[in-house]
Structure formats: C-alpha cells, structure tokens
Amino acid sequence: MRKLVLLALLGASTLFAQTKKIVVMGMSEDLVSELRNASPPSVNIVHITNPNSNADVVAIVADSPEDSARRQALLKEVADADAIIGAPSRELINAAKKLKWLQITSAGVEPYLIPEIIDSDIVMTNAKTLSAPAIADHGFGMLLALTRQLNHFIAVQPTEQWERKNFELQELEGKTAVVVGTGGIGSHVARRAKAFGMTVIGVDPKEFPPRLSFDRMVYPDRLDRVIPEADVVFLCVPHTKESEKMYGPSQFERMKRGSYFIALSRGKIYDLGALVKALDSKRLAGAGVDVTDPEPLPKGHPLWKFKNVVITPHVATQGEGGTPRRIELYKENIARFGAGEPLRNVVDKQKGY
C-alpha cells in the first residue's frame, strides 16, 4: 500500500513538474475562460486583468502598466512563466527568465525585434492574417470612395442638394491593381480585385505557384517595371529593414497619371512627402491611407488638405471576425505548446515577419 501511495505521489509530482504556465494579458475574463476550457491539463493559464481596458483583445504595442499593483503582479507571474500571450513590455520580457513562447496580439513585430528575443530560443508567434479580411475590405472601401467620389457625396449630403452632372466616376472593371506584398492582406486584396474584374499583379520576395487571384507575380526587384501598369497600387507589405521606404519618390514618379495609391500595412513603407508631391502635381487621382509615418498624422500636415485623399487612423484591422479568429489561433497554439508540437504563425526573427 505504501508503495502505491509513493508511486501516486511520484506520478503527481512528475505531472506537476511538466505543467506549462502561460500568462495571459489584456483580455476579458470571458475569453480567458474560453481558453482555459479548451486547454489541455498540462497547461496552467494565469490571467492578469487590465482594468484600464474594456476590449476583448487588446492589440497594443506594449502593455506597460502604470498601476503599481498590476505591474508587480505581472512581474511576479512572468518570472516563472513558460509562455506569454499579450503585448508585454521589454521589462516584462526581461523578467520572464523561463520564457519559451511569446504570442503577440498584433501582426507587426517591430517592437519585439530586440536582442532579448532575437538572440534567444524564444519562439515568437504573431497575429498575421487574422485581420486580413477587414483590412482588405477597408482598402477597397477607400478605393471605391475615390473612384465613385463617395467622399464628395457624403460631404455634401447635409446640404440636401440633388446635383446631377458628369462627375467622371471611374469603374474598376478592366483596371490593373499592383499588390505589393501578397501575404495575408495582399491575398485578400487580390481576391477582391479579381471579383471586380481587375487584372492583378503581385509583388513579393517569396516564390510560390501562381494563385488564382493573381494574373502575374514578380519579385521586388521588378517593382519599378510594373508600377507604370497600375491603375491602383495597394501597399500590403510588412515593415522590415528591407521594406522600409521601399516606395519612395522614384516609385511615385513612375505611377500612371490618374492612378490611385492605397497604404494598408505600415506607414514606414512609403515616403509620405513623396506622396504629397505626387498629389500636388496631380499625378495621382487620389490616395487612401490607414497608416502613416509618423502616427498619429500631425495636425497641419499637408496631407489633410487634399479632398481626393481618404485618411483613417490605423483602424483597418477592426472587424467583428478578428477576435474569434484570434481566439481560435490562441486555442490551437496553446494545445500545440502543451503537446510540444510546432506552433502556428511563427515569426522569422531574422526577417522580421
């Protein structure tokens, strides 16, 4: 009998030793309960609430709590955590001495490309592709607002004027879209472009078989050759050292007169001054930007003055489908982490995406 008790205690202690601790930040208690219910017994989820947020999932750059009690609670819990799901500050990452996996809440990973992560064995996963449908919708909303001059009609609606004249409205059928970056966002943009009857040219460093949504693919070193073909350029590429300011004065000068520019991924990808110049010179028929550099776009900036520009404050990711997709990713990765299996959405820390 004594031997059986000892074996039972030994088995229990072995199981306890194998339990993996995951600290979850910036989520509602309901969603954390959903994660717990779907998690294997080998995983212990610890939730640190954020009283300053009522969002279901907080996709912020870094959670640096000003509340002293919450900060101390986070520092204490991450000290022996095997994984973190959230947007931890650098202080928290440094405090997590046992960290093996970091699941961040955004697609962009720039704030986390620090030596503590890059030079370690920490596996970092992100939220790429989860908001791609919403972002693609947003991009086409901007384009249609410009080609159908909806921005004009919405602005004059309060005047109750019924004015019919030739507004020279544009149709997308037969036009050419150049999609720079053909990952999650770009592929969804391409699908929508094809549905509108457009020819779609993709620009991406990755080599892959032709996709139904793309009529042609080129590498980034051929970008300048396809820009003159574009009636609209969609910027969907992630921000890396290689992609920073890849769309500059030379690229805007190559754009077809009367074409459109839509920026959806990161503001650091394109030269904002060159965009203003292209609009000033009437080379572009219009532009839509959800991302700028700097952000927020300063008051008094020349871009605000253009009637043929649609500016939104980096909100394209918002959509009712984003949170459910994010939670499903977390569930699957928690199960995989608990079982020691490869994770989804792993970031190449050297490439930065």
- The 10s digit of each residue's pLDDT in 238-267 is 999 999 999 999 999 999 999 999 999 999
For 45, other C-beta atoms within 10 Å of its C-beta total: 17
What ranges make up the beta strands (E) of 7-77? 20-25, 43-48
Residue 22 has pLDDT above 80, yes or no: yes
Say which residues have a Cβ less than 8 Å from residue 201's Cβ, sequence separation at least 6.
Answer: 176, 177, 178, 179, 214, 215, 216, 217, 218, 226, 229, 230
Residue 268 has pLDDT above 70, yes or no: yes
Residue 185 has pLDDT above 80, yes or no: yes
Predicted local confidence at residue 50, as pLDDT: 73
Concatenated DSSP letters of 187-252:
HHHHHHHHHTT-EEEEE-SS--PPPTT-SEEE-GGGHHHHGGG-SEEEE-PPP-TTTTT-B-HHHH
Q: Across the chain, which distance is largest between two alpha carbons, in Å?
A: 95
Say if residues 96 and 79 touch (Cβ distance below 8 Å).
yes
- CA 126 → CA 9, 10, 110, distances in Å? 39, 37, 11
Structural tokens at position 175 = 């036009």
Q: Which residues are marked as active site?
A: 266, 295, 314
Predicted local confidence at residue 5, as pLDDT: 41
- What is the CATH architecture assignment of 12-128+320-339? 3-Layer(aba) Sandwich (3.40)
Q: For strands 176-180 and 199-203, give the pairing.
A: parallel
Residue tagged 């051929």 (tokens):
222
> 241: exposed, middle or buried (C-beta count within 10 Å: 0-12, 13-18, 19+)?
exposed
For 294, other C-beta atoms within 10 Å of its C-beta total: 10
pLDDT band at 108 (very low <50, low <70, confident <90, very high): confident
Q: Catalogue the long-range contacts made by 334-337 (C-beta closer than 8 Å, 24 or more residues apart).
A: 334/22, 334/35, 334/38, 334/39, 334/40, 334/43, 334/45, 334/85, 335/38, 335/39, 335/40, 337/20, 337/22, 337/43, 337/82, 337/83, 337/101
Predicted local confidence at residue 16, as pLDDT: 43
Predicted local confidence at residue 107, as pLDDT: 87
> Averaged over 184-213, what is the pLDDT?
90
> Averaged over 177-196, what is the pLDDT?
96
Domain 132-159+166-311 in the same topology as domain 12-128+320-339: yes
Which amino acid, 2?
Answer: R
> 240: exposed, middle or buried (C-beta count within 10 Å: 0-12, 13-18, 19+)?
buried
Which amino acid, 3?
Answer: K
User: What is the percent of the chain where pLDDT is above 90?
Assistant: 80
C-alpha to C-alpha distance for 177 and 200, rounded to whole angstroms? 5
Residue 329 phi/psi, 5° resolution? -65, -45
Q: Tens digit of pLDDT for each residue in 196-208?
A: 999 999 999 987 6
Structural tokens at position 50 = 């954020």
The reply to whether omega before 294 is within 30° of 0 (cis) is yes
Q: Taking Cα atoms as reference points, which of 203, 198, 212, 209 lies closest to residue 183?
A: 203
Predicted local confidence at residue 189, as pLDDT: 98
For 269, other C-beta atoms within 10 Å of its C-beta total: 24
> Averaged over 69-77, what is the pLDDT?
91
> Averaged over 321-339, what is the pLDDT?
95
Would you list the domain boundaries of the chain?
Answer: 12-128+320-339, 132-159+166-311
- What is the CATH architecture assignment of 132-159+166-311? 3-Layer(aba) Sandwich (3.40)
What is the overall mean pLDDT for the chain? Answer: 90
Residue 10 phi/psi, 5° resolution? -65, -40
| Better pLDDT: 1 or 155 | 155
